[in-house]
Structure 1
């Protein structure tokens, strides 16, 4: 009897200790070993509207957050040699993330978030599926639409939507399928800053652009109008200086100006850069002398904001009446249009 009581008491103590350990867990618990010296850690959700914390680094970090965990998160490590960036799709409660910092963040285990592993599995399967073709196949579309359905209640649907839009931008029939699913997204996710829902809606419903409704900053940093030339087609290039694909395309486009002119196309650059000097230095150093403007500083008055242009580069072919002929992120699509 005494032995039984001792075992029962021991069991109660163990259960109590486990309960206390569980209570000690915060919303986000990081356990990282490191081969290098780390100064601090930055934690935020991707839009930085709910979470934004700089914290001193330690091997064990128990972090209380402002909101539920259900988004793409930055978990970045600041070292003496620079920033080690890491992004993770996370959901759940009292998450435990275990890993090691070398020249990158190596994640060994994530406990409490099924979304982390679902996102990794999605990326692995989609990369394998799309690696052999630059054009999306029917099976790829079916896979993406199925994943969109599966995650429609979750912010990860934003990432799936982005992948779908990237390769179906010119296919309104396929975009309509995605749009029908996206209409069922919860309002909070639908209004997420990184969500392409409004962009898809714009592609499906907006066929013209009234350029006279907008002001731009010219190379003299003065407010200016863009006027479409009568009888011409206009290629509007939306870009910014630190956009590597934009810079790569500009080198190519600069050798295609005669071809554009021969097709009666006038090239107009619209940058979202805010630093006028940096923008001008880029244009001057590369001798890019076509018509170039910057979108205005006031966000609500920008053409890029009102046309839901958030991926760069974006190319828009427009006639002199403002009718949109083509809208794409790939300059090759413009060349195909000219054939």
Structure 2
């Protein structure tokens, strides 16, 4: 059982710190989310040096929360940590902390079926240390109430702008230190892109590479559906090797689509591939499947039936299998 120095109030976010215990192993501890916990020299704050994952937990009919895609999120966190050469807690420690946070929130609140929590796992490099000293990372889990999906937004769709991210599609291989495939704390550019889009009458963004390939959204993965010459459904997403983050939601949807006999494809894709599609979507863990209704001001079709199908696959939370590795799965269709 985790230690505690704070009892959450109803509606309050739940914070679980992973603090070093006996022998240096991190142990979960419930703490006050409104109290200060980081030093002013923590490199997560001063340099954006760290990583995070945001997952979704949903309550069942008994009021018990379960986090979706735990293996996918913890696997991606470990991959990001390896890219940053950042020591992080092992998966069982995270699982214990998440379970403690979910239980603490349920104990403090009247939970109804379908209630949702955003579960954010964060690790920073910690305070600055002397030369040759090992890092002292700061790690925590923050669980915050999340709104239920807005049916009107899902029906209407979102308007996106295509924005040049300023890096070409070979950067992941040529300059791995730019961490294009890791989920780091350095999200200032992503947030600036969203502000730019909203200032220009759009809701979201799809990044493109400097040499013209489609990449991803600031907080989401792009999916495209179209029919082939044989009328078979085909679901495609940009190639991860072009320097984008592996999408946990996309991997779950692809696994379900493959089981249903859909053809699959992993880019490379260019803006022209958005034309003539049956549907375009941005997908993410908390917001789910959102259809795109306009690209750079040009209207595109929104298929509500397809949107609900993809959302149902995401909600079913099937094992993503080979689709989680980051390597294209061979299309047998």
Do they fold alike, i.e. is TM over 0.5?
no
What's the TM-score, normalizing by structure 1? 0.27
Higher CA-based Rg: 1
The higher relative CO (CA closer than 8 Å, separation ≥ 6) is in 2
What's the TM-score, normalizing by structure 2? 0.27
| Structure (1 or 2) with the greater helix fraction | 1
